[in-house]
Amino acid sequence: MSPGSITVDQIDKPAEYAAAGIPQFWRIENTTDEVGGLTVFCYRLDATTRSYVPTGAHQGTFQVAAPVEVSLELKTLR
């Protein structure tokens, strides 16, 4: 995510996705830490508020079971 797109990527796009009823989304950001340089932020749509709630932030190994089963070493993506 570039510095110029932070607001769009963290606020505007999630609001558009929620309004469209997309049940989950993941956002990947470059980070400058020693565990691979990437962080995957996971969110699910709350049916009551029609907004996203965080379900996890993954560094090193990205592993989730829903909406699909995924296990990935993030450092291999660099």
Chain-centroid distance of CA 16 in Å reads: 15
Rounded CA-CA distance 38/73 in Å is 10
Question: At 75, which helix (H) or strand (E)?
Answer: none
**Per-residue confidence in pLDDT tens, the chain, 78 aa:** 667 788 888 889 999 999 999 999 999 988 766 556 899 999 999 999 999 999 999 999 999 998 899 999 988 886
Return the pLDDT at 9: 86
Q: Is 59 helix (H, G, I), strand (E, B) or coil?
A: strand
List the chain domain ranges.
Answer: 3-77
Return the pLDDT at 40: 94
What is the number of helices (H) and of strands (E) in the chain?
2, 5
Whether cis (ω within 30° of 0) applies to the bond prior to 67 is yes
Q: Is 24 helix (H, G, I), strand (E, B) or coil?
A: strand
